[in-house]
C-alpha cells in the first residue's frame, strides 16, 4: 500500500519536482563556474580567496532551493485528497493516522530525489576544479544539509496542509509577504515618521531569530559552502 | 537696517523736502522751521530704531528657542551626541551598544573628549545645531538602512576618532585604520589558511615568527626575503611581467626583470625584487586590517584601562615595542594569543550539522504527531 501512496504522490508532484531536481543538480556546477586554480605551487591572484568569495553569492540559493523543494512536495501531498473530498482515503481499510504516516513517509522518500541530484552535482562540481592548497570540498555535508532542510520544510508544511492547502498557502504566503512588507516598507520608508519603527528592523530581527536553537529554522543558517578550508 | 527705519527715513526726507506736506506754502521754508521739523523727526527715528532692535532680538530669541526645541544632547560614556529631538532614545541605544566594546578598555581619550557626534537617522530636514569651533563627526543617515548597519557604522566612527589619538606615533603608521574589534575572524582564518604565500600559511600553521613578519612587525627596510621564498619572488616578477605584457608595455620592462621572469635566473630575481620598494612589493597578508586590529585589541585587553594612555605615549617606539609597552606582555605572548583566537574561529563545514539534524528530526516528529492526531474526516 505504501508503494501505491508513493506512486500517487509521485504522479502528483513529478512535474514540479523534475525541474527542482535539475536545478539541484545544476546549482553546485553553476556555483563553481570560473573558479579554481591551475594546480600550480603559488599564485599571486589569490585563487583560494577568489573561490571562497565567488561561492559566497550562491549560498542563499542552496537553502532557497531546498525550501522550495520541501514546499512543492508538501503541498502536492494532500492535493488530491482535498480535491476529491478524501473519498479515496476513506475507502482504504486503514485508520487515518496510519494513512497520514504513509503519506508523510512517501513524501519523505521523494525528498531524496532533489537531495541525490544535488549530491551528484556537488561531487561533479568538486571534481571539475583544481582546489588550491588549504581548500577542501564538502559535497556530502552539503547534500545532508540540503536533505535536512527539505525534510524540515516538508514536515512543517505537510502538517499544515493536512488541514487545507489553500489555508497553508495563504498563511505561509501572507507571513512571508508581511515580513517583507513590514521590513522593507514599514521599516525603511516609514522609519522617518515613527520612532518605534527605527529601533527594530523586522527582517533583520527575523534573520537573527533564525539562529535560535532548538528553533526549526536554525538549519538555514549553517555552513552551506561546497568548498571551504 | 530694518524696513521700518528705512521707511521712516524716507518719510523724513520727504517731509523735510521743499514743497512737501499738505497745505504748505509754495515758497521756500525758512531755516528755523526746517530745523524744528528735523529735530522732531530725530525723536521718531530713535523710537523706530529701538522698535527695530527689539523686533530683531525677539526674532533671534525665537530662533534660538526653536533650535533648542529640535536638538537633544545625549551622553554615553565619553561620547557626546547631538541629535534631533525625538531621536535621543535611538541614539542612546545605538551608541551604548557600540560603546560596550570599548568601555572596559578605554579609560580616557582626548580625541573622543573633543569630538561631537552628530547623529540623525533619518536625517532631519532642519540642520542640527552644533557648537561652534568643535570637532564634529557627522553621522547623518539620509539613506534607507537597517539598525545593524547603523550600529556597525557608529562603531567604526568611534574607532576612527579613537585612532586619531595615536597620531604622531609609529604605531599609527602601522595601524592606520579605525580601532574596532574584528568580528569576522573566520574570514581571517580562511585568508591565512588558503594563502598562496608560504609565509602566511606558515603563520597559519603556528610559526609565530612568520606571523610577526606578515603582520608587518619587526621588519627591516626590505622585507621581501622574509615574506616570499625565492620561488615566490620569481613568480612575483613573472606576474608583473605578464601584467606589463597584457598592457602592451613589455618594452618598458628592464632586462633583469625579463631575465628573471623568463630564464628563471634567481640572482636576477633577487636583484629585481630587492630593487623594488614601496607598493610594488605587496605585503602577503590579505585582510591585514582585521588581523592588526585583533592584535591591537589583545594588547588593550591585556594592558587594562590604562593601556590606551600608554599607547598614546608611545611616540618614538616601534609598533611592536608600543604594543608590548601598552599590554605589559612580550610580543610573542600577544602573537600567540592572536594566533589562538584566529585558529579558534576556524570554520568547520560540518560544525553543528549533527545538532541541526537532531533539531530537524525533533521538529519532523512533532509534525508527524500533529498530522496523525488531527483529521478532517470527521468520522465521529
Q: Which domain holds residue A40?
A: 2-164+222-228
Same domain, B75 and B220: no
Residue B358 lies in a domain: no
Query: What does the pLDDT read at residue A129?
Result: 86
B189, B351, B367: residue with CB nearest A156 = B367
Mean pLDDT over A2-15 rounds to 86
Per mean pLDDT, which of A3-17, A142-156, A212-226 is the most reliable?
A142-156
Lowest mean pLDDT among A93-107, B249-263, B281-295, B312-326: B249-263
Is pLDDT above 70 for B270? yes
pLDDT (0 to 100) of residue B237 = 80
Nearest CB partner across the interface for A46, out of B198, B235, B286: B286
Q: Is A210 inside any structural domain?
A: no
* pLDDT value, residue B354: 87
- Predicted confidence band at A144 (pLDDT cuts at 50, 70, 90)? very high
pLDDT at position A43 over 90: no
The pLDDT score that the predictor gives to residue B3 is: 56
Residues B192 and B340 occupy one common structural domain: yes
Residue B322, in any domain of the structure: yes
Q: In 10 A of CB A170, how many CB atoms?
A: 11
Residue B355 lies in a domain: no
How far is it, in rounded angstroms, from Cα A104 to Cα A81? Answer: 13
Q: CB B377 to CB A86 under 8 A?
A: yes
Q: Is the pLDDT of residue B4 over 60?
A: no
Cell of A61: 540559493
> Given this model, what pLDDT does residue B121 score?
75
Judgement on whether residues B194 and B291 belong to the same structural domain of the protein: yes
* Residue B109 located in a structural domain: yes
Whether residue A213 and residue B359 make contact (CB cut-off 8 A), yes or no, is: yes
Q: Are residues B198 and B303 in the same domain?
A: yes
- Mean pLDDT of all residues in B237-266: 77
Residue A170 domain flag: no
Average pLDDT for chain B: 81
Closest CA to B236 of B246, B247, B224: B224
Does residue B211 lie in a domain region? Answer: yes
Q: Which residues pair with B140 in a beta bridge?
A: B120
**Over residues B298-311, mean pLDDT:** 92
pLDDT digits (tens, 9 = 90+) for B15-38: 555 444 444 455 667 888 888 888
Q: Which of B9-18, B78-87, B103-112 bottoms out in mean pLDDT, i.e. has the lowest?
A: B9-18
Which chain B residues are closer than 8 Å to A42 by Cβ? 196-198, 231-232, 235
Q: What is the pLDDT of residue A40?
A: 40
Number of domains observed in the structure of chain A: 1
Q: In this structure, is residue A33 part of a structural domain?
A: yes
Q: A150 pLDDT band (50/70/90 cuts)? A: very high
Q: Please count the residue pairs, one from chain A and one from chain B, whose beta carbons lie less than 8 angstroms apart.
A: 157
- Residue B361 located in a structural domain: no
Q: How many domains does chain B have?
A: 3
Which structural domain range is residue B132 located in? 69-165
Residue B374 has a pLDDT of: 65
Domain shared by B142 and B282, yes or no: no
B206, B332: one domain: yes
Interface with chain A: mutation pick from B94, B201, B348, B363, highest number of A CBs within 10 Å: B363
Q: How far apart are CA B7 and CA B19, in angstroms?
A: 19
Nearest-angstrom CA–CA distance, B305 and A147: 50
Share of chain B above pLDDT 90, in %: 23
pLDDT value at position B10?
A: 57
pLDDT band at residue A39 under the 50/70/90 scheme: very low
Query: Is this complex scored with an ipTM above 0.90?
Result: no
pLDDT at B82 over 80: yes
Name the band, by pLDDT with cuts 50, 70 and 90, for residue B143.
low
Whether residue A150 is contained in a domain is answered as: yes
One domain for residues B326 and B208: yes
Mean pLDDT of chain A: 82
Q: Is the pLDDT of residue B148 over 90?
A: no
Name the residue among B377, B332, B361 with its Cα closest to residue B218: B332
In angstroms, the Cα distances linking A175 to A171, A180, A206 are 6, 9, 12
Contact with chain B for residue A200, Cβ under 8 A: yes
Across the interface, whether the CB atoms of B148 and A89 are under 8 A apart is answered no
The answer to whether position A146 is within a domain reads yes
Closest residue in B to A187 (Cα–Cα) = B146
Question: What pLDDT, in 10s, does the model give residues A50-75?
Answer: 788 888 889 999 999 999 999 999 98
pLDDT number for residue B96: 93
Contact A42 B347 (CB under 8 A): no
B51 plus B154 within the same structural domain: no
Cα A181 to Cα A70: distance, rounded to the nearest angstrom: 24
B202 vs B135, higher pLDDT: B202
**Whether residue B102 sits in one domain with residue B53:** no
Q: Cα torsion at A185, A188, A189, A191 (round to 10°)?
A: 120
Cell 489553500 found at: A166
In a domain, A159, yes or no: yes
What sign has the CA pseudo-torsion B309, B315, B316, B321?
positive
Which of A101, A149, A162, A168 would best serve as a mutation to test chain B binding (most B beta carbons within 10 A)?
Answer: A162
**Percent with pLDDT over 90 in chain A:** 31
The Cα of A199 is separated from the nearest Cα of chain B by a number of Å equal to: 6
- Looking up cell 519536482 gives A17
Q: How many angstroms separate the Cα of B20 from the Cα of each of B14, B24, B45, B265?
A: 6, 7, 19, 106
The pLDDT value recorded for residue B261 is: 77
* B121 and B210 fall within a common domain: no
Closest approach of B21 to chain A, Cα-based (Å): 60
Please tell me the predicted confidence (pLDDT) of residue B212: 92
Q: Would you say residue A31 has pLDDT above 60?
A: yes
Please tell me which of the candidates B90, B195, B371 has its beta carbon nearest to residue A198: B90
Average pLDDT over residues B39-55: 87
In a domain, B311, yes or no: yes
All residues at 6 or more sequence positions from B69 whose CB lies less than 8 Å from its CB, including other chains: B85
Per-residue pLDDT band at B123 (split at 50, 70, 90): low
- Tell me the pLDDT band of A181, cut-offs 50, 70 and 90: confident
Same domain, residue pair B73 and B122: yes
Closest chain B residue to A160 measured between Cα atoms?
B371
Span B226-240, average pLDDT: 81
Determine, yes or no, domain membership for B304: yes
B129 shares a domain with B37: no
* Residue A64 belongs to some domain of the structure: yes
Amino acid at each position: 500500500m505504501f508503494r501505491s501512496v508513493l506512486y500517487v504522490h509521485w504522479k502528483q508532484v513529478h512535474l514540479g519536482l523534475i525541474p527542482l531536481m535539475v536545478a539541484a543538480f545544476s546549482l553546485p556546477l553553476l556555483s563553481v563556474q570560473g573558479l579554481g586554480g591551475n594546480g600550480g605551487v603559488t599564485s599571486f591572484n589569490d585563487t583560494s580567496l577568489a573561490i571562497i568569495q565567488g561561492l559566497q553569492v550562491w549560498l542563499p540559493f542552496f537553502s532557497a532551493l531546498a525550501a522550495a523543494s520541501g514546499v512543492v512536495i508538501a503541498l502536492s501531498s494532500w492535493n488530491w485528497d482535498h480535491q476529491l473530498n478524501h473519498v479515496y482515503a476513506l475507502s482504504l481499510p486503514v485508520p487515518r493516522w496510519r494513512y497520514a504516516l504513509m503519506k508523510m513517509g512517501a513524501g519523505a522518500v521523494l525528498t531524496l530525489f532533489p537531495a541525490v541530484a544535488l549530491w551528484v552535482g556537488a561531487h561533479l562540481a568538486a571534481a571539475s576544479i583544481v582546489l588550491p592548497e588549504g581548500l577542501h570540498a564538502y559535497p556530502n555535508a552539503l547534500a545532508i544539509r540540503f536533505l535536512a532542510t527539505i525534510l524540515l520544510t516538508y514536515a512543517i508544511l505537510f502538517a499544515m496542509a493536512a488541514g487545507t492547502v489553500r489555508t497553508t498557502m495563504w498563511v505561509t504566503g501572507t507571513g512571508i509577504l508581511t515580513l517583507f512588507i513590514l521590513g522593507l516598507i514599514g521599516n525603511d520608508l516609514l522609519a522617518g515618521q515613527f520612532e518605534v519603527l527605527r529601533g527594530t528592523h523586522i527582517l533583520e530581527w527575523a534573520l537573527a531569530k533564525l539562529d535560535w536553537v532548538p528553533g526549526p529554522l536554525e538549519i538555514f543558517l549553517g555552513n552551506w559552502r561546497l568548498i571551504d578550508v | 537696517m530694518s524696513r521700518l527705519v528705512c521707511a521712516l527715513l524716507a518719510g523724513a526726507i520727504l517731509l523735510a523736502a521743499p514743497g512737501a506736506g499738505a497745505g504748505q506754502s509754495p515758497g521756500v521754508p525758512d531755516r528755523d522751521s526746517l530745523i524744528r521739523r528735523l529735530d522732531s523727526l530725530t525723536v521718531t527715528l530713535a523710537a523706530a530704531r529701538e522698535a527695530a532692535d527689539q523686533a530683531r532680538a525677539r526674532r533671534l530669541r525665537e530662533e534660538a528657542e526653536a533650535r533648542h526645541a529640535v536638538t537633544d544632547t545625549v551622553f554615553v560614556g565619553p561620547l557626546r551626541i547631538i541629535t534631533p529631538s525625538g531621536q535621543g532614545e535611538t541614539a542612546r541605544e545605538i551608541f551604548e551598544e557600540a560603546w560596550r566594546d570599548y568601555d572596559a578598555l578605554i579609560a580616557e581619550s582626548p580625541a573622543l573628549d573633543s569630538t561631537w557626534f552628530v547623529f540623525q537617522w533619518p536625517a532631519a530636514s532642519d540642520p542640527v545645531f552644533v557648537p561652534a569651533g568643535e570637532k564634529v563627526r557627522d553621522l547623518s543617515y539620509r539613506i534607507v538602512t537597517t539598525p545593524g548597519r547603523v550600529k556597525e557604522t557608529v562603531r567604526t566612527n568611534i574607532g576612527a576618532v579613537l585612532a586619531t589619538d595615536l597620531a604622531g606615533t609609529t604605531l599609527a603608521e602601522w595601524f592606520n585604520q579605525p580601532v574596532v574589534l574584528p568580528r569576522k575572524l573566520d574570514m581571517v582564518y580562511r585568508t591565512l589558511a588558503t594563502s598562496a604565500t608560504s609565509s602566511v600559511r606558515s603563520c597559519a600553521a603556528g610559526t609565530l615568527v612568520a606571523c610577526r613578519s606578515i603582520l608587518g612587525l619587526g621588519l627591516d627596510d626590505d622585507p621581501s626575503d622574509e615574506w616570499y621564498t625565492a620561488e615566490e619572488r620569481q613568480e612575483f616578477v613573472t606576474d608583473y611581467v605578464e601584467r606589463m605584457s597584457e598592457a602592451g608595455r613589455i618594452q618598458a620592462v628592464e632586462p633583469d626583470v625579463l631575465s628573471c621572469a623568463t630564464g628563471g635566473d634567481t640572482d636576477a630575481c633577487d636583484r629585481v625584487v630587492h630593487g623594488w620598494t614601496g607598493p610594488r612589493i605587496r605585503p602577503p597578508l590579505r585582510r591585514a586590517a582585521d588581523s592588526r586590529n585583533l592584535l591591537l585589541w589583545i594588547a588593550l585587553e591585556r594592558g587594562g584601562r590604562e593601556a590606551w594612555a600608554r599607547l598614546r605615549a608611545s611616540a618614538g617606539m616601534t609598533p611592536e615595542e608600543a604594543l608590548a609597552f601598552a599590554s605589559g606582555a612580550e610580543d610573542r605572548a600577544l602573537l600567540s594569543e592572536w594566533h589562538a583566537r584566529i585558529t579558534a574561529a576556524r570554520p568547520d563545514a560540518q560544525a553543528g550539522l549533527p545538532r541541526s539534524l537532531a533539531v530537524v528530526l525533533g521538529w519532523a516528529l512533532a509534525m508527524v504527531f500533529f498530522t496523525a492526531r488531527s483529521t478532517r474526516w470527521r468520522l465521529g
